[in-house]
Amino acid sequence: MKNLRCYLVVAGVLILASMTAWAGSVKVVANQSIGASAISVDELKSVFLEEKNSLNDGTHVEPVLAKGGPAHEAFVKDYLGKSDSALQTYYRSLVFSGKGSMPKAVGSDAEVVAYVARTRGAIGYVGPGARTDGVKTLVVSESGNYKTRELISRVESVYPDILRSNHIGGTVRLQVTIAPNGKVEDVELLGGSPILGEAAMDAVKKWVYAAGRSRTTTEVSIPFDPGL
């Protein structure tokens, strides 16, 4: 019976994993005025190449670039499919033809976050370790069909005794960042009890997924049922 329960929990977590994101080596950040919590690769590319100035839900957006650095190089290569020099040439051609303008460009991750935080509709990118206070991080999903990263090794969450004995349960929602080698790099609490969330995060940090072509982000839901 215990093995069956473990199997059902694992199956439930995999079913509830609602989105896998193709994140490369950057985090995409947006002003709090942007209602979306996710953006597709194609949509992101269209915004930064100034093919569109709004998201699919109609929200106006303003792209902001970094002037250089690892995050900028990764973003331009992985999401826009260009080198920095090719991107600058592309923007100059838009300006020359009257079809666009040079986007705002700032010098560091901190400046990107500060600008995005104070500018309505702004969207930018920073390195994976950058502080993102005051802005929201968007999940970036691959366009079209994609496969969820397979969970290879799962560590069970430790249910706090005081909560279980008082029949306090619930479901915890987590955003899990997975490295290309399958190890969990980061876990964020999206919803649920902070105490249960802490227990869930401690366990999920030890999970191992199948190797992938890039860093990905998956949302998982973990139930805590005091009756089990």
Share of residues in the chain with pLDDT > 70 (%): 84
The string of pLDDT tens digits covering residues 76-121 is 988 888 999 999 999 999 999 998 889 999 999 999 999 999 999 9
Express each pLDDT in 122-156 by its tens digit. Answer: 999 998 888 999 999 887 765 443 446 788 999 99
d(CA 175, CA 189): 7
Residue 124, Cβ density class (10 Å: 0-12 exposed, 13-18 middle, ≥19 buried): buried
Does the structural domain 147-224 have CATH classification 1.10.3720.10? Answer: no
CATH fold for domain 25-141:
D-Maltodextrin-Binding Protein; domain 2 (3.40.190)
CA distance to 58, 62, 142, 152, 181, per residue, from 210 (Å):
36, 36, 17, 6, 7
Comparing 122 with 221, the larger pLDDT belongs to 122
Calpha distance 63→66 (Å, rounded): 10
- CB neighbours of residue 143 within 10 Å: 12
Q: Looking up tokens 């020359």, which residue turns up?
A: 96
- The whole-number pLDDT of residue 120 equals 93
Q: Where are the domains of the chain?
A: 25-141, 147-224
Give CA–CA dist 216/149, Å, rounded.
Answer: 8
Q: Nearest 5°: phi and psi at 114?
A: -65, -45
Predicted pLDDT at 213 = 67
| Predicted TM-score (pTM) of this structure | 0.56
Q: Is pLDDT larger for residue 171 or for residue 21?
A: 171
Judge residue 220's burial from the number of C-beta atoms within 10 Å of its C-beta, 0-12 exposed, 13-18 middle, 19 or more buried.
Answer: buried
